[in-house]
Chain A
Amino acid sequence: MNRFAELLDRLAYEPSRNNKLRLLTDYFRTQADPDRGYALAAMTGALTFAHAKPALVRTLISDRTDPALFAMSYDYVGDLSETVALLWPAPLQLATAAGSNQPPAPSLSDIVEQMRETTKSALPKQLALWLDALDETGRWALLKLITGGLRIGVSARLAKTAVAAMGGLDPNEVEEVWHGLQPPYLELFAWVEGREPRPITDDPAPFRTPMLAHALDEADFAALDPADFSAEWKWDGIRVQAVTGFAAAGASVQRLYSRTGEDMSHSFPDMLEALGAAGLGSVAIDGELLVVREGLVQSFGVLQQRLNRKSVNAKLIADYPLHVRAYDLLMENGEDLRPLPFMERRARLEALLARCDPARLDLSPLVPFETWEALAQARRDPASAGAGADAEAIEGVMLKRRQSIYVPGRPRGPWWKWKRDPFNVDAVLMYAQRGHGKRSSFYSDFTFGVWREGTGGEELAPVGKAYFGFTDEELGLLDKWVRNNTVNRFGPVREVSHGGDDGLVLEIAFDGLNRSTRHKSGLAMRFPRISRIRWDKPAREADRLEALERLLPTDQ
């Protein structure tokens, strides 16, 4: 456990993706089965412990410490698991001395395996024994692990990428077998280490790594022939893979995966039910998850109300009816369609949907066009090009080469996304914060605001934060400006002068705007980035809040 705890500890502080990968790969290479497999399970969210609740941890520590000292400590540290880990009155560390009574520190697999067997009533005693035997970092990791608070900045995808790297494999290969495997993943490690062949899984509804598109530059058009391509709307929902199949006993199985392979089925029981009722057979459909009310596709802001929910109730389901707009068919009754050209897969998809006529599942329509000019016109004005009232949920067009096969990952050439032009606003820089990793000596996270009428006259309302969009050279200039124009410091944050005459104007590009109760201005930008530094523009001429409010979708 202590070695796993060290890894978590280090990962939690390491901002760079590549360095995280190295830490992970180093761990997987040097640790034995089954510990490393349980570690992988912990990082991919495959472990849950029903009985371990923060209240139990609180009881354990209050039995062992002075309440006043605990209160002062918790107040100072601010995190329960960390406070308990530091405060735990461990027996004196004489562990290495011969003849010591100290129990050896438990391994990660000891903990995972015993947690499965320990009853709720026996858990407090068991947990106390482990806490006695671990060091501070080990106690912290144990408490975080079992209470489900393991936030260490590692996605499931990154952990799988690290495993794939052990055997020089593409991470997509690991994704393809992943959903048929169980912790501690012995056959997975055996495969990536070349000791055994690729694991054979009998998952009835497995995930397949999706194909992704590259962003299109207008300059790319010169080399592209419109006759080779088919176009669709780019829907502003979330990319999903809807998979149906039959388990060995004949029971039907439905799953909804995110584009990174996360099984999101539990969040969308209504969509799963619709898939089950459709009689699709055994299929894998690539599509977009949307909220559709009375035939109208709702904006992303509406769909967002259904995302990241811990529990789903009847009201939520009724108020936010889900829908999958299908654009590709990858598997049908055991046949892998991915080696077929796009137009053939499309025909199979059309036939499937015509045959089953499923509720809550329909076809993403094609956008007819002859020339790039015509497509550009449709992209500018989807409403007049067939999208009608759904236009607000469209964020551009997708181009797919008619003859292209379905390639997992992001191959360059067959698929392009041509997003609609971003919105722009001129805002004033208000605060800057130091970045992380390579940027840790640069002020690289910028909070900006726009003018509004305040109680004491004109004031800036912060509307967003951006940390990219600029070149390295521009970052150097921004950093210098921040250092020279600091008026206040709050820890790692600097407030810069932002008056009408001395503020710095940043042109911010963003993809959309939603109402937000979390932000003071009442607005939340999607994907804001700095498109230009307006050294020339006086701050008082920056945009006003009213101008942004006019961009809000009408249905909110």
Chain B
Amino acid sequence: MKEIMPETAKYEPHTVYIRPSKGLSSLNLSDLWIYRELIYFMVWRDIKVKYKQTLLGMAWAVIQPVMTMLVFTFLFDKVAKLPTDNIPYPIFSFTALLPWGLFVTALNQGSRSLVAHNNMVTKIYFPRLILPMSSVFAGLVDFAIAFVILVGLMIYYRFVPAWSLVWTLPLFLLLAIITALGVALWLSAINVQYRDVNQALPFLTQFWLFATPVAYSASVISAKWQILYSLNPMAGVVNGFRWALLGTGNGPDITLWVSVGISILIFISGLFYFRSMERTFADTI
């Protein structure tokens, strides 16, 4: 009996064409897929290296939001006595500090990622999108650690959230990530050419904090300004977190959809801007 030999699968290398790209270059997401392991390694490295040679190590991921919460509690609850929709202020502010912390870390690390890794950018090829992306994802670990603290706080205050948070919270988390990534794409690409971004970041972060209902409740904004207010996508994220975890506010309404729209707009435009600038990164960085 003749056995049929399986034909040896011959590996056929694919051909890459290198030419000057014109106009809006394609997103080339297939390359991103090929290099997916690099995203994993970059995130893993960022996490691993972040707290190396520190005395307190991972505890910093707890100390930072907790200290901010304590300061906020003193200033805005004890001194200013801001209304919190009848929620204990520590939980009220911590719920907002979670996504805010994620956003700020992602914004700062992501925007500086290309310049910080300029030796990689000028020496080897890989999809540059990986750098801001992995900076943003690395922030998720700090988020997860801080989330444990929130659970602790809720137990302490005997606060029982609605079950719906199982699916609503991930969606708002996704919105926070998309917003952070969108802004980081814009700023990291601009930063390659104009280091002004480095100077502007601390100011931008501070300004953005005041424009977002982290320390105060969004309900203090009068109704006619709500739509304008929601142009800040982080307002939608923070309100969403409070709604999902604490049940405050109206839940998804027109202001949320405005925030979502703006967020997606920033993300998509950031993606295209990044890609169109990508070809000059190695030359201008």
Answer whether A and B are interacting partners. no
User: Which chain B residues have a beta carbon within 8 Å of chain A's beta carbons?
Assistant: none
